Amino acid sequence: MESREAMIQPVDVVRWRGPSRATDCDSIVIEEPLEIRVNDRPLAVTMRTPGDDEALALGFLVSEGILTTATQVFDVLRCADPDHPDLRNIINVMVEPALAPPSSELNRQRYATSSCGLCGRATIESVRHCAPPLPTPPHFDRGVLLTLPDRLRAGQSAFERTGGLHAAGLFNKEGQLLHLAEDVGRHNAVDKVIGLALHNGPWPPDETILMVSGRAGFEIVQKAAVARIPALCSVSAPSSLAVELAREMNLVLAGFLRGDSMNLYAGAEFVM
């Protein structure tokens, strides 16, 4: 995991505490664009928090159905924009030529905000095309699932300083943290974790649990399904489309994990 200092920027603020006014320094999250290229050709631009950029690019390509194994990747290169050589906000992923998206798609560079992932291919039909429903999920211990919010929060060092980051964590069935990533965009945090798993294992992550700090929207379920992660947990609510997709893809989907309670929206028979 990269230095959290690269994710944080100090700013001067004026604080009011009741009737008292004072000048102070605060820490805020950095948000910058990252261009993802495939075989030297632009594919997408996403607004993200710097850190684990290579993993973000790899995870994004998994989520888009372009990559399925680490062996399909020849190299991952960080490049500089000629207009901004100090930023180096370009990641170029070199893959087997047959896996690269068609020229028409690469020429139509797509943009994602930090609040919403790329939606052009984020449809149930595209998920069906990228991945079939998962086989029968493993059984998960309810007590382990309930510990995940605290375990995720314990690893959020940048959030503790800024309060402005989403987190995603990949855990094994026993609740051991395997990978954690933070980002201003919740979908980026998930892509980073998927990319870390692709690069460092376990892969496929078919006996793991994805825990996210924000809501479980459709795009998060879509990423878990394509990456073959069988269980997704969230401290907040899922959307109707997220529940529909989780049930169709045979995922365990749990929401509102708080204290000793949670709601199971899909795969309840696999949680004991």
| Cis upstream peptide for 202 (omega within 30°) | yes
Looking at 25, 116, 119, 130, which residue is catalytic?
Answer: 116
Distance CA 90, CA 20 (A): 45
Distance CA 184, CA 42 (A): 22
Q: CB–CB of 211/226 below 8 Å?
A: no
Q: What is the DSSP letter of 67?
A: -
Distance CA 188, CA 12 (A): 28
Distance CA 268, CA 266 (A): 6
Please state the length of the chain.
272
Distance CA 270, CA 211 (A): 17
Active site residue 116: yes
Helix (H) or strand (E) holding 180: strand 177-183
Residues with catalytic function: 116
